[in-house]
Amino acid sequence: MVPGLLFLCSASVMPERNTVRMHRMLLGRIQRNLRKYLPGRNPRSMPEKRMFARPFGILFVVTTAAMLTAPCRAAAQPSPASSMPVLYDDDGSLDGLVALLFMLADPEIDVRAVCISYGEAHPEMYATKLSGLMHSLNLGHIPVGFGRDTPLEGNNAFPSWLRDLSDSFWGMPTGPDSASNIHEAVELICRTLNNSARPVTVFVSGASTNIAEALRRDPGIAGRIGRVFMMGGAIRAPGNIDKLVPGADNRVAEWNIYVDPHAAAEVFASGLDIFLVPLDATNKVLFDRRDFHAWREHGTKMGEIAADRMEWSIDRRSAGKTYIWDLVAAAIMARSGEHSFEMLEVEVVTSKGALQGQIRVHPGARGIHSCVDPDVELIKKTVLEAFSGIPE
């Protein structure tokens, strides 16, 4: 008998989010066990007659049908401790959207709230489009927040042409925008953290504006945050400001930090347990059409959307390969215990000039964990497993 197939059911109804998560986890276990019992075969692509030729074929059909049609009792639910509660805070970037789709597809990640910060997006406009997408995925129960459309200080900004692309929701037809379950980001962050029974992991893949403002409004939320995973900065790698603004004097900063350096400095100085994924790491991971084909082939809706958008992006730029910075950071967060981090004492340069936004090693400053040498194979495996609906 295939392990993981028999689960008791009763008439009690699980909440929608737990039901979907449970079905994903059960399907993943079935698929992994089929691989073990049928070595060298992909259960998704096996001809039906061959698939059911084995003695456990009938058991597979009956029990799988029962699992996916009957409401399961609480004992069959995944333990709340088995998934990581995450508050996602992005700036409306395309790579951030793909990172969000990855998190929504991964049954080991429990996305509690989605917030949009200042950066590539005009936050409120983008939030309504993102909320429409969430509703189309039957994930409208996850609240969406929008932050201010300016940095805490200064006037650093992404180029207008890039913000226009974000306003278009990266060329995606999403159906009607949705203003339901949309909130002011700082209020949503504070409420989500204060209402959680467990520490929440905060994922930041844009400017730190929303998180800095939330800490100003309610300093007590720091005690509710387990860890902060942040895509941003460059430790030893060159910056990327000049990649979007040719001829820029700044060659050391990365955009997520540069666009609101004062917010980043406040978050870094807050004492939170920060795990940084800088350009040093993300620039070592390239994706191409083979990756996107694999995401789509194995069949979750999130994988299909992610593949479509990334193919749209490389077609638009006539590129063969591409970076997906925020996705790399999200995959590292999902399997952080299997990646190496080094402790660094750093500060953020906030003064105007060619160094503004630089994350600079400074002995005596607060320490952060930085991943500069990621496991590229593990990252791609982690992403593919999530988009395939196969938990590890």
Residues of the chain with CATH 3.90.245.10: 82-388
**pLDDT profile of the chain (392 residues), mean per 10:** 36 40 49 42 40 40 39 34 91 98 97 98 96 93 97 97 96 72 96 98 98 98 98 98 96 98 98 98 97 90 96 93 98 97 97 97 95 97 90 51
Q: Are 200 and 86 in contact (CB under 8 A)?
A: yes
Looking at residue 389, what is its pLDDT? 77
Looking at residue 284, what is its pLDDT? 98
| DSSP annotation string for 42-98 | -TTTS-HHHHT-STTHHHHHHHHHHHHHSPBPGGGSPPGGGSEEEEEEE-S-HHHHH
The DSSP bridge partners found for residue 370 are: 276, 342
Looking at residue 2, what is its pLDDT? 36
Looking at residue 256, what is its pLDDT? 98
Residue 149 backbone dihedrals phi, psi, to 5 degrees: -105, 30
- Which burial class, exposed, middle or buried, applies to 141 when counting CB atoms under 10 A from its CB (0-12, 13-18, 19+)? exposed
Q: Determine the Cα–Cα distance for residues 314 and 295; give it in Å rounded to an integer.
A: 16
Q: Determine the Cα–Cα distance for residues 322 and 289; give it in Å rounded to an integer.
A: 9
Q: Determine the Cα–Cα distance for residues 88 and 127; give it in Å rounded to an integer.
A: 13
82-388: CATH topology is Inosine-uridine Nucleoside N-ribohydrolase; Chain A (3.90.245)
Looking at residue 177, what is its pLDDT? 63
DSSP code of 144?
E
Instruction: Enter the pTM of the model.
Output: 0.81
Looking at residue 299, what is its pLDDT? 72
Cβ neighbors of 57 (< 8 A, separation 6 or more) are: 51
Can you read off the two tokens belonging to residue 13? 């109804």
Looking at residue 298, what is its pLDDT? 76
Which residues of 262-375 form beta strands (DSSP E)? 274-277, 287-288, 321-322, 342-348, 359-361, 367-370
* The amino acid at 107: P
Looking only at the bridges linking them, the beta strands covering 367-370 and 342-348 are antiparallel
Looking at residue 81, what is its pLDDT? 55
Which residue, 210, 141, 137, is CA-closest to 181?
141
